[in-house]
Amino acid sequence: MTNYKLQISFFTVLITGALILSFFILKPYLVALFIAIILRIVFDPFHGRILSLVKGRESLAALLSVIGVFIFIVIPFVLLGFFLFDDLKDLYVRIIAGNFDADFINRLTSPISSFLQNYFPGFSFDVISYLKQGLSQLIVNLGSIFSGLVQLTFDFVIMIMALFYLFRDGSRFRERIISLSPLSDNYDENILTKLAKSISSVMKGSLFVSCIQGVLAAIGFFIFAVPNPILWGAVAAIAALVPTFGTALVIVPAIVFLYWSGLGASALGLIIWSAVVVGMVDNLIAPYLIARGSQIHSFIILLGVIGGLWFFGPIGFVAGPVVVTLLLQLLEMYPSIVGSKPISPAE
């Protein structure tokens, strides 16, 4: 018995050390691996159709699936990132050089500032100063990403390779995870199935739809001459996650800006574009993308996005909602797992 306890203790120390060392070895690639896993889950139906078309040839199906993801997802988002970075730099330079129309911002915020000063004397609501600080932080963070172009390229290659093997060997990885888990196989299957379904729902039903609305809003801003359309389109994509108000939080101030700038026709055009084109996404596209099996409130998703961006950085836009989704699914299953009868070895 003493020898057995010694073996268990030694093995525990050994595996703990190996896990810690492996974590630090894999840490530089965790973001790339995480993105690959999310893409594998979201594009599982697409891969299934490709697999049936090529008559079960797994390597060929995985290669074609990776090419499809690269064409439809990766390239557009990389281009959007470069355009967004340019817009951020342009706006920051204009503010620093004094070429930004601060009067418009002051007219909008002066009633709020006056109201707050009645209760908090000496309170200063300097939006331009806050905007400078926020933009400088964004540019520093984005600049560090784009400046490490070699590392970014290497991470991208790792992600593509991981995605290929996840498409090809995903079912075998799943079986291995289930075999290593101390839970009953039924619980493991239930957890993985629900988690995959919820992640797919969150990605397609909330984040992807919000990105589509942000892109359409950016196109409208560009057509009707709103400054920095890519930047405000990205803000509109995040605002689309806000329940009830959505993209109106960004589009309405843009319409007011155009009207006060003497561009009444452009303001009217943006109203029509927003109502007809941006507004139709929720009615026409969202029902086809949302997985019916997951009902996660959009406010929870919004908190996941904001908290994820603060904790994880840029990848938090995806990682935050996924972590919150995992927690909610585990909490939902907690009563059935904890309250169940222990399974004896004979069973």
DSSP string for residues in 74-124: IHHHHHHHHHHHHHHHHHHHHHHHT-S-HHHHHHHHHHHHHHHHHHSTT--
Other Cβ atoms within 10 Å of 188 Cβ, number = 18
Identify whether residues 53 and 91 lie together within a single domain.
yes
Residues 256, 141 share a domain: no
Average pLDDT over residues 107-133: 58
Mean pLDDT throughout 173-186?
81
**Residues 26-32, mean pLDDT to the nearest whole number:** 85
**What pLDDT is attached to residue 291?**
46
Cα–Cα distance, 215 to 213 (Å, whole number): 5
Q: What is the pLDDT of residue 133?
A: 63
Question: How large is the average pLDDT for residues 316-321?
Answer: 78
* Sign of the alpha-carbon dihedral angle for 69, 71, 77, 82: positive
The residue from 159, 180, 201 where one domain ends is 180
- Give yes or no for residue 268 having a pLDDT over 80: yes
Is there a single domain that holds both residue 139 and residue 73?
Answer: yes
pLDDT at 346 over 50: no
Residue 21: the pLDDT is 92
Q: How large is the average pLDDT for residues 61-81? A: 82
Domain annotation covers residue 158? yes
- With beta carbons less than 8 A apart as the criterion, state whether 226 and 270 touch: yes
> Mean pLDDT, to the nearest integer, of 27-44?
87
The two tokens of residue 337 are: 């797992």
Residue 325, Cβ neighbours under 10 Å: how many?
23
Q: 347 lies in a domain?
A: no
Structure tokens at 223: 């057509």
What is the C-alpha to C-alpha distance for residues 236 and 220, in angstroms, rounded to an integer?
Answer: 11
pLDDT of residue 55: 85
The pLDDT value given to residue 254: 85
Rounded-to-integer distance, Cα 124 and Cα 23, Å: 46
What's the pLDDT at 129?
61
Mean pLDDT of the chain: 76
Residues 266 and 254 in one domain: yes
Any domain includes 345? no
173/192 same-domain check: no
Last residue of a domain, one of 144, 162, 180: 180
Cα separation, 75 vs 194, in Å, equals: 30
Burial class (CB in 10 A: 0-12, 13-18, 19+), 209: buried
| Residue 266 near residue 224, CB atoms below 8 Å | yes
19 contacts: CB under 8 Å, gap ≥ 6:
none
Distance of CA 346 to the CA centre of its chain: 45
Our count of domains for the chain comes to 2
Same domain membership, residue 135 and residue 235: no
> Looking at the predicted structure, is the pLDDT value of residue 336 above 60?
yes
Q: Which residue has the tokens 């001459």?
A: 225
Domain that holds residue 191: 182-337
Structure tokens at 220: 């409208």
pLDDT given at position 125: 53
Helix %, strand %, coil % of the chain (to 5) = 85, 0, 15
pLDDT at 146 over 60: no
Residues 195 and 94 in one domain: no
Q: Is residue 2 part of a domain?
A: no
What pLDDT does residue 66 have? 92
Asked if residue 41 is part of any domain, the answer here is: yes
**Residue 131 pLDDT more than 80?**
no
Question: How big is the chain, counted in residues?
Answer: 347
pLDDT at residue 104 above 80?
no
Q: Is the pLDDT of residue 90 over 60?
A: yes
Mean pLDDT confidence for 181-203: 78
Of the candidates 198, 205, 206, 178, which has an alpha carbon nearest to the alpha carbon of residue 322? 198
Q: What string of DSSP letters covers 63-81? A: HHHHHHHIIIIIHHHHHHH
Place of tokens 């093997």: 165
- 155 assigned to some structural domain: yes
- Is the domain of 329 the same as that of 196? yes
Classify residue 4: in a domain, yes or no: no
User: Of the candidates 172, 185, 149, 198, which has an alpha carbon nearest to the alpha carbon of residue 38?
Assistant: 198
Same domain, 170 and 255: no
The residue with tokens 């409208």 is 220
Q: Same domain, yes or no, for 173 and 250?
A: no
pLDDT digits (tens, 9 = 90+) for 297-306: 767 777 887 8
Residue 347 pLDDT: 42
- State how far the Cα of 104 lies from the Cα of 94, in Å rounded to an integer: 15
- What confidence tier does 97 reach under pLDDT thresholds 50, 70, 90? low
Mean pLDDT of 66-76: 83
176 and 187 co-located in one domain:
no
Whole-angstrom Cα distance, residue 169 to residue 214? 35
Q: What's the rounded mean pLDDT across residues 248-253? A: 84
Alpha-carbon span 88 to 92, nearest angstrom: 6
Residues 129 and 242 in one domain: no
Residue 10 domain flag: no
Q: Which of 180, 205, 224 is a domain's end point? A: 180
